[in-house]
Amino acid sequence: MTNEDQTTQAAKNELLKVFIGKWHTTGEIVGSDAEVDAIDTYEWLPGNYSIIHYADAGMGEDKFSSIEIIGYVPSRGAFFCPFFDDQGGGGFEEADTEDGKVWHFHGENIMGVNFHRCTLTVSDDGNALEAIHEQSEDGTTWQPWMNVVLNRMS
């Protein structure tokens, strides 16, 4: 890795600190009566180059646990986010942000949908994250999926 890549990676990794902590996630699955209720925990991996994200979630009647690692990859020019859940699912996302306040995630095979994208906005005080999720069967035609808010617990 070049010195320029290391400098870029350090600056990008600094943006991840907004996620660190334990969050209570609540919201709705669009077009249904199903509610989302989850605990999301984000921790630094040793070295502070990437974070690990644990989720224990209820989505309507469905329950699942998942793990995700988020880290900046200079060669991709994006944050790379592999994802695995306790239902045998696995997928990946990439994420980008200009300022650390608005994040854009997009990927495949996340939480049981073929294609996923999410716009996540950090509150001014950093204690809430608003996430608008969309899903697609083909990666072209998008539909609203979930609207959730993560409120910082610690």
**How far apart, in Å, are the Cα atoms of 89 and each of 31, 40, 80, 83, 92?**
24, 18, 17, 8, 10
The residue-averaged pLDDT of 75-98 equals 94
pLDDT band at 6 (very low <50, low <70, confident <90, very high): confident
Asked if residue 3 has pLDDT above 80, the reply is no
Asked if residue 140 has pLDDT above 80, the reply is yes
Q: How is residue 2 written in tokens? A: 């070049």
Residue type, 88: G
The residue-averaged pLDDT of 52-65 equals 95
The residue-averaged pLDDT of 126-132 equals 98
Domain boundaries, the chain: 3-152
pLDDT digit string, tens, across residues 8-55: 778 888 999 999 999 999 999 999 999 999 999 999 999 888 999 999
Q: What is the pLDDT of residue 75?
A: 87
The residue-averaged pLDDT of 102-119 equals 94
> b/e per residue, 48-65, with b = 16+ CB within 10 A?
eebbebebebebeeeebe
Domain 3-152 homologous superfamily, CATH: Calycin beta-barrel core domain (2.40.128.20)
Structural contact between residues 75 and 54, judged by C-beta atoms closer than 8 angstroms: no
pLDDT digit string, tens, across residues 87-98: 999 999 999 998
